[in-house]
Chains A and B, each alone.
Chain A
Amino acid sequence: MIELLDLMKDFDEVKAVNNVSLNVLDGEVFGLVGTNGAGKSTILRIISGVIKPDSGIVLIDKRPVYDNPEVKSDIFYISDDQYFLPASTPDEMANYYEGIYKNFDKLRFHKLCSGFGLDTKRRISTFSKGMKKQVSILLGLCAGTKYLLCDETFDGLDPVVRQGVKSLFAGDMADRGLTPIIASHNLRELEDICDHIGLLHQGGVILSEDIEDMKLKMQKVQCVFQNEEEEKAAVEGLEVLLHERRGRLSTYTIRGEREEVEAAFKRGNPVFFEVLALSLEEIFISETEVVGYDIRKFVLG
């Protein structure tokens, strides 16, 4: 488990990380979302032991990470602009990491490279951006570490590869308890991968929730009532987060269990009502607008 408590990091006058507290549970895919400069990379670099925070606590399985090789051997960090040794090939990088991470599985690496169509004898510098990302992901997966930190790693991957990587993540999570932490500036990229999302803005955490919990606790209802009194009566006592009206058709985003919401609407005698599935995007819009943010401006693009 990764625990961040009251983490602070300033770069001169800029507050890169501002009082961040997060918990990453073992075996879940944690997504860090935020705009450029929101502090995602800084948090990942702090977790990986590259940067020392100005204040606050970072614990990996109850152990401090900074300058602690034992803890760092459980972490593999894939940076936004992953570095490879000069003029190296995937094979040579695998050799290199083989000497660094005791659980590095070179055989698996070669198999996966073959599966992804990557030539292990070719210089990485000649690879495309997406291919380099694939090499770094495969190296990270084959390192056999408990935690895999991915900074904007899914940018530049085509859908087929993305799906393949997702399957690998799922397999490793099931097989050996891998805990991936994925940072991205785009919420839509994480929707189908993450179990838990931490939303960052200007160095601080706006929101940190399990996606399933959020989905269960929030309902979207489209309805038509005979008159406004009946509609008011139906939503009375519910925690309405958003309400839109187009003609007589109303759309409500309401915090609450499905059964509770359905019961309330049935009591209002609606002409028509239907509980719809909420996308991650909608959940975030609703949650963040409540606390005064418009995340459409800075996450959804």
Chain B
Amino acid sequence: MTSANLSLGEKIKNRRTYINRTLWTSFVVLPFYAAYFILGVIMLVSRSINYANVYHQTQQVLYREKLAATASVVGFRSMVWILVIGTAVMFALQGFSYVFNTSQIDFYLSQPTTRAQRIKRNYFNAFGTFLSIYIGTELIALIVAAAMGAVNGNVLMSALIETVREFILFFAFYNMTVLAVMLSGSLPIAIILTAAFTFVSVIIAGEIALFKGIFFSTYDSEEPFKVIFSPIYDRVSSMMDIYTLRNVGENYILNPGYVRQCIETIMDREIDTVVVGVIAFIAVLIFSRLRRTEWAGKSIPLRPFRWFIKVLGSAIIGIGSGLFVFELYSSVWNSRLYVMMCVVMILATIFAGCVIEVIMEGNIRRMFKGVAQTVMAIAIVVLVFVIYKGDLLGFDSYVPAASKVESCAIISSDRTFHFFHGYYGNSDFSSKDYMEIKDVDTFIEIARVGMDAQKITRINEQAGRYSSTGYQVSVLYRLKNGRDVYRYITIPYDAVDEQLNKIVSSDEYKTGCFEVFHDDYVREADKTAVNRSLGYNTSLDSQETQNFDYTEFSDAYRKDILAYYSFDSMKNKMPVGQIEYEVNDENYIYGTFEVYDTYTNTIDLLKKYGIYLDSTITVSDVRKITVTNYYPGYDLEKIDYQDIEEYPDSKEMSYTDEKQIEEILGSIISTDYYNPWYNYNNNNEQYSAQIYTTEDRSKYAGSYYTFIKGQVPDFVVADTN
């Protein structure tokens, strides 16, 4: 009997034998998927049940926790992507590694098939096997979960979408690995190339970001770290974003908007992964046609690609060495070290070129071959250095035209709230998400001045001179073309106060800057909170209460900000106290709110709650004031502390005389609480005053105050110098 007479069953059986023999990796990965999905669901759901028993959780909480357990295995929070990447790489190497071995090439390519058919069959086998394993084990896990009452619509929908995501990830990594195989002649080189394809865009993006930080005065670390064409980055960053999704709370798995919110959060990176997969697939089709049988055994046979790899690899390592030099010397960095940095970058590029040549040739004696590529790499490295050092792209002078800007923001990451629930936190809160300043002309006027001042500040810092010359802020321009531009600027004190007042006094600024305007999740959490408190602190004392209405307080505080917060009013004023709000049960929330003397609604409410404290100090409240002069013999209002050659020992003097105390009280200010628009340059940091009050006025031993410039009493100067 010949094969022409084979039944379908026999043909399928033979095919299965072939897959078993060639895709044996499926036997390796199957137990891992089974363990991950099936055992994972059983263990996590049963853990939730046991936990509920031990801690007497309600049925509602138990149901939520069981759903969360299943979702963490099969849903958006799944960690199965690690397995999927490993499977894709293994299947691709297993399916296509025959191209590295002459006898296998002879075996497969002499058979009655075309190259295209063979590639198609490998793809079909790999994707079919992967999907069978993935969906098979996942379905069993979901059936088990359903039997344990741990499935709802959200879980099923997130499992379905996650399956699609894993397929996309598999598609991308499989194609990247096959492309690496098609471009290389041996397995080790193919593995190295796969790793290079995986991480190269992350490394390049990292180097660009770090170089910007080193060379550009106005580079803002708030600028998001953006990586394109990197499925590994896409997946890791998506996962982190899903874990820290805002406004989903502990009941996320019961929230009908959860799936939609997750999709919106990750969609851009999923598209990026698809794009990478498609590009890699097209490249596979092209290079599989170009690939010659005789490439087997060579490292990277395609000459142009070999050049590309060596030039790119050497340049990346060369540039990376510059970053290493900066990190090594960062604490003692000065402008002269740039020369050393450049020299090290060139040497590292040459060294990298030699190493890459040795790896590609597999022969140490070929170390100094391929000089042309090394020279090209050096040229790129030097060009990059010159571009960044000379700011040839005009990064530090770029201010967009007002007509091109949609809106602006002053970025403040000073969070009012610290909110934690399990993995979830609100650490990514930023005013850039809420602030949309439309007065672009005024904003750009401020930014232009701030750019110039920041460049001078940076030069001074690199010369070792640190001094407060203005308000250091991050600004964001949202361009009409969809691009976001970030800059770090120093707005000089007193230079553009009128413009600053226009911006800071605007409702757009206030509602964007203060998190209290976006505290819906806190209000929600507060409703069910048991262990909660509201406290009020001043420099002298503190009080707290459990009897308060958070919503009432939040409304009052919002009203005060809208009515009384302005640049003009804040410029010369410090907060008189600070409110602390804390919830410490299933959620942990800690919030702080600065209180100014003009915040009448808030102060009235604090009085109503019985926790208000007057922060003003009279002579009768004070037993003693101890003044410390940290630089006796010098006047830091006339010289810079950095010009002092030998730092003297500090000198203290205590005052109990009422007249002297009165004079001191009139020339000091409390700096216990932060005001971003206060001109800290008005303070004389050479002296500090520690006030010891009478026992009935304060429970603290002593409170520190700072003198205002030009107001240090003569007797203090005389006594402490």
Q: Which residues of chain A have a CB within 8 Å of any CB of chain B?
A: 11, 45, 48-52, 67-70, 72-73, 75-77, 79-83, 85-88, 92, 95-107, 144
- Tell me which residues across on chain A come within 8 A of B427, comparing CB atoms: none
Most buried by A among B6, B24, B105, B112: B112
- For the complex, what is the distance from the CA of A221 to the CA of B17, rounded to whole Å? 62
Q: Return the 7 tightest CB-CB contacts between A and B, nearest first.
A: A73-B112, A83-B107, A77-B110, A79-B106, A85-B21, A72-B112, A48-B110
The answer on a CB contact under 8 Å between A81 and B21 is: no
Q: Is the CB of B113 within 8 A of A85?
A: no
- Please state if B294 and A79 are interface contacts (CB–CB under 8 Å): no
C-alpha gap A103/B1 in the complex (Å):
9
How far is the CB of B684 from the nearest CB of chain A, in Å? 78
The main secondary structure of chain B at its interface with chain A is helix
Partner of A95, one of B1, B17, B24, B106: B17
A85: contacting residue among B3, B13, B18, CB under 8 A: B18
From 269 to 323 in chain B, residues with beta carbon under 8 angstroms from any chain A beta carbon are 292-294
In the complex, what residue of chain A is closest to B11 when comparing beta carbons? A99
Residue of A nearest to B114 (CB): A67
| CB<8 Å pairs between A and B, sample of 21 | A50-B105, A50-B293, A51-B293, A68-B114, A72-B110, A72-B113, A77-B106, A79-B110, A95-B17, A96-B21, A97-B3, A98-B14, A99-B3, A99-B15, A100-B112, A102-B2, A102-B4, A103-B3, A103-B4, A104-B3, A106-B2
- The distance from the CB of A290 to the nearest CB of chain B, in whole angstroms, is 35
Chain A contacts for B104, CB-based, 8 A: 83
User: In the complex the two chains form, is A69's CB within 8 Å of B113's CB?
Assistant: yes
User: Is residue B50 within 8 Å, beta carbon to beta carbon, of the partner chain?
Assistant: no
A17 to B579, CA, bound (A): 88
Asked whether B102 lies within 8 Å of A75 as measured between CB atoms, the reply is no
Give the shortest distance, in Å, between B125 (CB) and chain A (any CB): 14
Chain B residues positioned under 8 Å from A80 (CB to CB): 103
Measured in the bound complex, the distance between the Cα atoms of B4 and A103 in whole Å is: 6
Would you give the shortest CB distance from A243 to chain B, in whole angstroms? 45
A106 touches B1 (CB 8 A): yes
In-complex Cβ contact of A45 among B15, B21, B293 (8 A)? B293
A44 CA to B17 CA in the complex, in Å? 29
Residues of A within 8 A of B3 (CB): 97-104, 106
Give Cα A71–Cα B2 distance, bound, in whole angstroms. Answer: 19
**B21 and A72 form a contact (CB under 8 A):** no
Question: Are the CB atoms of A67 and B15 closer together than 8 Å?
Answer: no
Q: How long is the Cα–Cα vector from A76 to B106 in the complex, in angstroms?
A: 10
> A99 contacts B14, CB within 8 Å?
yes
Give the shortest distance, in Å, between B39 (CB) and chain A (any CB): 29
Tell me whether B109 is interfacial, beta carbon within 8 Å.
yes
Q: How far is the CA of A69 from the CA of B115 in the complex (A)?
A: 10
Interface of A is mostly: loop
A107 / chain B contacts, CB cutoff of 8 Å: 1
B113 and A92 within 8 A (CB): no
Given the contacts A83-B103, A102-B4, A96 and B17 also touching, CB distance less than 8 Å? yes
Q: B105: nearest residue on chain A (CB-CB)? A: A50
In the complex, which of the residues A70, A75, A103, A144 contacts B110, with contact meaning CB atoms closer than 8 Å?
Answer: A75
Q: Is the CB of A79 within 8 A of B112?
A: no
B14:A95 contact, CB within 8 angstroms: yes
Determine how close the nearest CB of chain A comes to the CB of B356; give it in whole angstroms: 20
Q: Check A101/B112 contact, CB under 8 A, given A50-B293, A51-B293, A88-B21.
A: yes
> For A85, what are the chain B residues with a Cβ–Cβ distance below 8 Å?
18, 21-22
Q: How far is the CA of A187 from the CA of B471 in the complex (A)?
A: 92
Cβ-neighbour of A11 out of B10, B17, B294 (below 8 A): B294
Whether the Cβ atoms of A144 and B2 lie closer than 8 Å is: yes
Measured CB to CB, the closest approach of chain B to A65, in angstroms, equals: 10
**Shortest distance from the beta carbon of A103 to any chain B beta carbon, whole Å:** 5
Beta-carbon nearest neighbor of B293 in chain A? A51
Given A50-B109, A51-B292, A83-B103; 9 other pairs, CB 8 A cutoff? A48-B110, A49-B110, A67-B116, A73-B112, A79-B106, A82-B107, A83-B101, A98-B6, A106-B2
**B106 with A48: CB separation less than 8 A:** yes
Collect the chain A residues with CB atoms within 8 Å of residue B293's CB.
Answer: 45, 50-52
> Contacts of B114 on A, CB cut-off 8 Å?
67-69
A104: chain B residues within 8 A (beta carbon): 2-3
Q: What CA separation (Å) do A9 and B332 show in the bound complex?
A: 62
Q: How far is the CA of A11 from the CA of B4 in the complex (A)?
A: 39
Asked whether, in the complex, the Cβ of A86 is within 8 Å of the Cβ of B21, the reply is yes
Q: Is B403 an interface residue (CB 8 A)?
A: no
Q: Is the CB of A96 within 8 A of B18?
A: yes
Nearest chain A CB to B405's CB is how many angstroms away?
57
Residue of A nearest to B301 (CB): A12
In the assembled complex, B481 has its CB within 8 A of some CB on chain A: no
Complex: A241 Cα to B117 Cα, angstroms = 54
Q: Does B111 contact A (CB under 8 A)?
A: yes
B-chain residues with CB within 8 Å of residue A96 when the two chains form the complex: 14, 17-18, 21
Question: Is the pair A69, B112 in contact by a Cβ cutoff of 8 Å?
Answer: yes
Q: What separation, in Å, do the CA atoms of A48 and B111 have in the docked complex?
A: 8
Q: Which residues of A contact B110 (CB under 8 A)?
A: 45, 48-50, 72, 75-77, 79
The CA-CA distance from A112 to B563 in the complex, in Å, is: 101
Chain B 1-41: CB-based contact to A (< 8 A → 1; otherwise 0): 11110100011011101100110100000000000000000
**Chain A residues whose CB sits within 8 angstroms of the CB of B10 once the complex forms:** 98
Which residues from chain A contact B13 at a C-beta distance below 8 Å? 95
Give the residue of A83, A92, A97, A100 whose beta carbon is less than 8 angstroms from that of B106: A83
Task: Kindly list chain A residues whose C-beta atoms are within 8 Å of the C-beta of B101.
Answer: 83
Q: Give Cα A67 to B11, complex, Å.
A: 24
Residue of B103, B104, B294 contacting most chain A CB atoms (<10 Å): B294
Chain B residues near A144: list those with CB within 8 A. Answer: 2
Q: Can you name the residue of chain A whose Cβ is closest to the Cβ of B106?
A: A79
When chains A and B are docked, how far (Å) is the Cα of A97 from the Cα of B21? 13
Report the bound CA distance from A49 to B293 in whole Å: 11
Nearest CB in chain B to that of A105: its residue: B2
In the bound complex, CA of A50 to CA of B98 (Å):
13
* Chain B CB within 10 A, most for which of A70, A76, A85: A85
